[in-house]
Amino acid sequence: MLLLGFLLPAAAALLQFSDTSNCSKYGGLYELVTRIGVVELSIHKNAFCIEKCPSVPQIQNLDSQPTVESASITTARCGLQATGSGYAAILTCTYHNATGHEIKVAHSFPQFREWAKEDPRCVLEGSLITKYSMFSIWLVLKVGIVIFISTVFLAICCLGCCCGWCCCR
């Protein structure tokens, strides 16, 4: 169980990188960097997931500036934060247009979830964070440590029974 706790992040990273090839197959160009509990995603203008996802053509930024058309976006860098419940709370993206202007946008979790329902290729990072957030990894580690310590304790007790003392009774 303890070993499983250490292997989960690696398995999650492998799962996510296999998902990116799925998006590339449909015209997306994804550069993905995974961390425990956080995913950073670099999206290019002609990626499938920018052109096809709902709500992306009209992006409302946080600074009350005019909305940005997807056609003017050259690159976007997004960071997905995981909350204690194991679900993504906010996807924060920094978009750059052809003139180099930077626009920061926060996508709320309910909208993010809708994207996943419509087309999983649009939110490949969502599945990773939902299943392998920092909270769930810590939970597995804690459970693993408790099971390990309990097993060692019981083993010592049972060995002690053979030597004339026993704490298992």
Q: What is the pTM of this model?
A: 0.27
Q: Which amino acid is at 65?
A: Q
Strand partners, 116: none
The pLDDT, as a whole number, for residue 144 is: 76
Average of pLDDT values for 25-39? Answer: 32
Return d(Cα 29, Cα 151) in angstroms, integer: 48
Residues 50-79: tens digit of each pLDDT: 433 333 333 333 333 344 444 455 555 555
Q: List the chain domain ranges.
A: 13-138
> The tokens of 159 are what?
């060995």
